Amino acid sequence: MGKKKIAILTGGGDAPGLNAVIYTVVRACKSMMDCELIGYKFGYRGMYTNDFMKLDLDATTGILHKGGSMLYNSNKDNLFNYTVEENGKKVKKDVSDVAIENMKKEGVDVLIVLGGDGTLTSARDFARKGVNVIGVPKTIDNDLPATETTFGFDTAVNIVSDNLGRLHTTAESHHRVIVVEVMGRSAGWICLHAGIAGSADVILIPEIPYSIQGIVNKIKERDAAGRPFTIVAVTEGAIEKDGSAVIGKIVEDSPDSERFGGVAEQIASKIEPHVRNEVRACVLGHIQRGGDTSPADRILSARYGYKAAEMVRDGIFGSMVCLRDGKMDSITLEDVLGRGEMGETAKGGAKTVDPNGELVRVARSLGITFADE
């Protein structure tokens, strides 16, 4: 067997652990086979523009613990529906063949794609066009149904729970209510885990619609019990009963154009007239996926990276690494994403919190309310 040339890219939003996966893939592949590795910059855009860098032991030294991606990220570059300029006008075109030709010119044998459902949908579509693709699932939201846990989730939970603890002391000092907006989109995993770990008094997640009165009742209950301060943790995509998620803005050139944002401010403004406390809103934002990667995520990322290297060695393509029953395994991209037309969303939708699941019951037993009374 000749020398393999392996390319890696990181698509979609960044997540702590991407660098740890890259670090491990490089070392594991080098130990398993005669190979050369490159990394496309800015996800699929790098494939289209043929912008890449050499990945070897020296290039990846010291990145294991770092958040972000040494290859950079982009969540706007679907090469099957890519924005190009023709005759002075911007139009959408399928430019995937350009990327495939670039890979052929560079002699790339295998493409390892680190990304969420949108990035992996394109990976599946490249596999359909004959590219040897291996997917590695990535999201801090932990909402991908085909794998038990995604790297970046533990780091995000640690950051949010730490910040809830910091806000707890200032809320207690001033007898304030602080509403803390947490990432997660339409899945409440980060908010639920961090809310329990960070001693939130109210947890609001998309899977359990809330009422303003339910939040007010909890604040008054705590006040009457001699605890005149309250921490409310809310997922950015949480929904008020008979309402809808709060959209912060629309990003026209993004495949996923709706950006949640503003729910903490909205809740704060609605509850303040009904309580005697001053109410503040705090949006943690991108701080949740910045900084160093947690030790648990470094280990999980290394496991994902090692399995991807094994799949390269064993010729298991058109598939994604997954964590199943606590062990690393693989599943075909077709089974993860469905067998319909190119560009479809993930089959079965996101993995969401069970409103009657164990962790929700644990939270309720601790006196935490979901304001769903």
Q: Are residues 280 and 298 in the same domain?
A: no
For 109-165, what is each residue's pLDDT tens digit? 999 999 998 899 999 999 999 999 999 999 999 998 889 999 999 999 999 999 999
Could you report the per-residue pLDDT of 19-33, keeping only the tens digit for each? 999 999 999 999 999
The verdict on 311 and 330 lying in the same domain is yes
* Integer Cα distance of 129 and 150 in angstroms: 27
- Which parts of the chain have pLDDT scores under 50? 339-347
Q: Cβ contacts of residue 12 below 8 Å, gap of 6+? A: 43, 73, 75, 115, 116, 118, 119, 138, 139
In terms of domains, do 94 and 71 share one? yes
Q: Which of 137, 191, 113 is nearest to 324 (CA)?
A: 137
Q: What is the pLDDT of residue 344?
A: 37
Residue 345 belongs to some domain of the structure: no
| One domain for residues 241 and 333 | no
Q: Which residues pair with 89 in a beta bridge?
A: 86
The dihedral of CA 266, 267, 270, 275: what is its sign? negative
Q: Domain of 236: which CATH number?
A: 3.40.50.460
Distance of CA 368 to the CA centre of its chain: 26
- Other C-beta atoms closer than 10 Å to the C-beta of 316 total 16
Cβ–Cβ under 8 Å, residues 321 and 144:
no
What pLDDT sits at residue 246?
79
Same domain, 69 and 99: yes
Same domain? For 93 and 193 the reply is no
CA atoms within 13 A on the CB side of 11: 30
Question: 360 and 267 share a domain?
Answer: yes
Q: Are strands 258-260 and 202-204 parallel, antiparallel or unpaired?
A: unpaired
Q: Report whether 160 contacts 182 (CB < 8 A).
A: yes
* Cα–chain center distance at 258: 15
Q: Strand pairing of 35-40 and 52-55?
A: antiparallel
Contact between residue 198 and residue 169 where contact means Cβ atoms under 8 Å apart? no
174, 133: one domain: no
- Whether 26 is in a domain gets the answer yes
The identity of residue 48, as a single letter, is: Y
Write down how long the chain is.
373
pLDDT at 340 (0 to 100): 42
Structure tokens at 359: 């962790």
Within this chain, do residues 284 and 245 fall inside the same structural domain, yes or no?
A: yes
What six digits make up the tokens of 364? 């309720």
Q: What's the rounded Cα separation, in Å, for the pair 285 and 106?
A: 39
Contacts for 61 with CB less than 8 Å, ≥ 6 apart: none
Domain hosting 224: range is: 155-290+354-365
Tokens describing residue 332: 């075909």
Enter the pTM of the model.
0.92
Cα–Cα dist 110/55, whole Å: 14
Could you tell me if residue 194 is inside a domain?
yes
- Within a domain: residue 15? yes
**196 and 125 in a common domain:** no
Q: What is the pLDDT of residue 338?
A: 65
Which CATH number covers residue 29?
3.40.50.450
Q: Which residue has the tokens 């409440």?
A: 188
Q: How far is CA 124 from CA 5, 135, 361, in A?
A: 20, 9, 38
Nearest-CA neighbor of 308 among 143, 133, 148? Answer: 133
User: In this structure, is residue 372 part of a structural domain?
Assistant: no
Q: Under the phi-then-psi rule, with left for phi > 0, alpha for psi from -120 to 50, and beta for the rest, what region is 279?
A: beta
Residue written as tokens 């139009």?
91
Spatial separation of the C-alpha atoms in residues 100 and 79, rounded to whole Å: 11
Q: Are residues 198 and 298 in the same domain?
A: no
Catalytic residue check, 141: yes
Q: Which residue in 125, 141, 154, 297 is the catalytic one? A: 141
pLDDT at 247: 79
Number of H helices, E strands in the chain: 12, 15
Amino acid making up residue 86: E
Phi-psi region of 185 (alpha: psi -120 to 50; beta: other; left: phi over 0): left
Q: What is the total count of domains within the chain?
A: 2
The pLDDT value given to residue 337: 82
Cα 126 to Cα 21, 145, 245, distances in angstroms:
21, 21, 33
* pLDDT for residue 347: 45
Residues whose CB falls within 8 Å of the CB of residue 46, separated by 6 or more in sequence, listed in order? 9, 39, 40, 52, 71
